[in-house]
Structure 1
Amino acid sequence: MKVNCPKCGHNNDRDDIFCMDCGTKLEQAETEQAQASEPTPAESSVKEPSPWFAVIRAHAKPLKKGVYLAAYIAIGMIFSFFVERYRAARNVEDADQMLVYLLLAGASLVVLWGVFTWMTYRLWQAVQDGHARTTPAKAALLQLVPGFNILWIFTSFQGFAEDYNKLLKRRGLQLEPINEGFFLIMCIAIVASTGTITGFLAGVSSFDYTYVIYTALALVVISSNRAIDGVNGLLGRLGMASDPEDS
């Protein structure tokens, strides 16, 4: 092993006490070089990645199904009531009442969509095994972008059903898969109801949208019920076994 002189840089033998070129004492230089060659604690202790199920358990929590379903039904009925009031005010050409009920209907719709988006965020937390197509934050945030969210819902909700089923198959978990086709129908119903309501409020359609609203709401409730059951069942399985793939 060679020792470099700290003063002139000359390459000396390890047994040399003084630099053969400039005479500088080499004992300190050898000590410093030996310390520099030792691995740091961070280098010597490489952390193993956590198992996929440990990551999910650490971030995902069971969802309270009754709270979400009750919120959908209650807010949906309030929204429908305000829209009906708006229609009545428009029939008598009461501009002030039209504006009031339009704002109230819009506010209730925003709250309803907010609850749905928060649930979507919670659902995606449960399928983050390293293969999910999106993150919980991305799934929720893009669902709040006006206009684009109508298309994104096919990824954030119907895509969740697909990723959930793939996780079950990939990890060998014996749980009931989600009906992906039903989730697709729900997304289409939401798009249809949005277009119908927008057309009516804009005065370009006289179609009775009430049935469209209730149909879409019913599909949201049913699909949300299934999604929450699926996630809670998955989290229950992950919490019961040290390694779910062996159970």
Structure 2
Amino acid sequence: MAPVLQARGITREYGHVTALAGADFDIEAGEVVALIGDNGAGKSTLTRILSGTDAPTSGEILFEGEPVTLSSPVAARELGIETVYQDLALAPHLSAVQNMYLGREIMKRGLLGRLGFMDRAAMRAGSRTAFDSLGATVRELDGTVGGMSGGQRQGIAVARAAAWASKVIFLDEPTAALGVVQTKNVLDLIRRTAANGIAVVFISHSMPHVIDVSDRVQVMRQGRRVATFRTADTSMEQLVGAMTGALDGRVA
């Protein structure tokens, strides 16, 4: 089977600065792939391109084996690709339910629906189902997100992405600044999401978390992919060596 999402020879130039210099990437359905690299390696740029936020200077993107143009985040979402950025992009003054359906509100059928009446009961039920199915510890559906813990906000962001994504989720540093219990919950969410057949791209600087949750690791350095490892067959020392250039070569 073809990878659900693949990048071939992606370049991105900002004036005289080359952020990506022929970067490759691939991920299969139901797989957790960790994307790692030092600051400036090109991880964020590649993520923005594969989620439709930025456009490549050159190269090819394939979705389920077919070339595609991801001209915007909306175009990516229409293919079932969702992204959870480090800032989570949640509206702190809105509730968990409102954040879950922000921009995707369920309207009541008939004339009243056309006049803008939302089906709050359906959205509340859908939110609870999404949170419970991923094990997200969201205790209060109606309280504002700004008053919730970091772990609960992470759970809302990941559950929202998982509810709308049918193919791929990008998670940018989802365990940053979280406590031990909150981090465990987020890593469990990642496993449950992949178990539902969704490909998860896990971007992280935490090598223990990378080894704990991923199936494969793809390493970027100087704007390109320099190594790919099967997580079960590698070590933290190998990953760090590939990131720094002390260890060259690709391991299938």
TM range (shorter): under 0.3
Q: Which has the larger radius of gyration?
A: 1
Q: Report the TM-score, using the length of structure 1 for normalisation.
A: 0.26
Larger relative contact order (C-alpha < 8 A, sep ≥ 6)?
Answer: 2
Q: Report the TM-score, using the length of structure 2 for normalisation.
A: 0.25
Q: Higher strand proportion, which one?
A: 2
